[in-house]
C-alpha cells in the first residue's frame, strides 16, 4: 500500500497494510479495490475498510520482505503454450547460431587482406527528388455530406 503524506489515507494506513474488505465486499486484487473505492466515494462520499496489518516484528519483517521482493522482480505474465514453443525454438536457433563462428561483414570483401576493398561505397553527395502528388494542379472535388 503506497500512501502520500498529507493525504486522507496517511492518517489511517501505513506501508504494508492489506485491504481485505471494502463496504462488506471482499477484495481480490487492486483493480477490484480501486473500482469499489471509487464507486463508494462517488456515491456516498465515505467508505468502510477492513485492513490487515502486521503487528509482530516477525510479521513486519515478512511483509517488508514481500514488498521488496515484488519491487525487485519484473511482473510475470503467463504465456500461452504455442508462444512458449515459439520462444523455445527461437532460443535454440539463437544458441545454435552463436557458435557458428564470425559472420562476414557486408562492407568488406572476404580474403586474406583484413583491410580489403569495400563492397559498398557510401557517397556523401546529397541528391533531391521532387515527389509529385496526384492532385497537383487540380482542385479537390467537394463531396456531399450524405454521399457514401
The Cβ-side half-sphere exposure at 145, using a 13 Å CA radius, reads: 0
Q: What is the pLDDT along the chain (148 residues), one digit of tens a residue?
A: 455 667 777 778 887 788 899 999 999 888 888 999 999 999 998 888 898 888 888 888 888 888 777 666 666 777 788 888 998 899 888 888 665 556 666 666 555 555 556 666 777 887 777 776 666 667 777 888 875 5
CB 17 within 8 A of CB 5: no
> Would you state the cell numbers that stand for residue 67, as one nine-digit string?
514488498
Contact residues for 1 (Cβ-Cβ < 8 A; gap 6+): 9, 13, 14, 15, 16, 17, 18, 19
Give the H/E segment covering residue 52: strand 49-52
Tens digits of residue pLDDT in 44-74: 988 888 988 888 888 888 888 887 776 666 6
Helix/strand/coil for 142? coil
> Would you state the cell numbers that stand for residue 58, as one nine-digit string?
516477525
Residue 141 confidence (pLDDT): 78
Residue 52 confidence (pLDDT): 87
Amino acid at each position: 500500500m503506497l500512501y502520500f503524506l498529507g493525504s486522507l489515507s496517511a492518517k489511517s494506513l501505513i506501508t504494508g497494510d492489506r485491504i481485505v474488505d471494502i463496504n462488506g465486499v471482499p477484495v481480490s486484487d487492486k483493480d477490484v479495490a480501486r473500482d469499489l473505492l471509487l464507486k463508494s466515494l462517488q456515491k456516498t462520499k465515505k467508505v468502510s475498510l477492513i485492513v490487515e496489518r502486521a503487528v509482530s516484528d516477525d510479521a513486519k519483517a515478512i511483509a517488508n520482505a514481500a514488498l521488496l521482493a515484488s519491487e525487485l522482480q519484473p511482473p510475470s505474465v503467463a504465456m500461452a503454450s504455442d508462444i512458449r514453443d515459439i520462444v523455445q525454438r527461437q532460443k535454440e536457433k539463437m544458441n545454435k547460431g552463436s557458435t557458428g563462428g564470425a559472420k562476414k561483414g557486408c562492407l568488406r570483401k572476404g580474403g586474406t587482406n583484413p583491410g580489403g576493398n569495400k563492397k559498398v561505397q557510401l557517397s556523401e553527395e546529397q541528391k533531391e527528388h521532387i515527389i509529385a502528388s496526384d492532385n497537383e494542379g487540380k482542385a479537390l472535388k467537394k463531396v456531399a455530406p450524405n454521399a457514401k
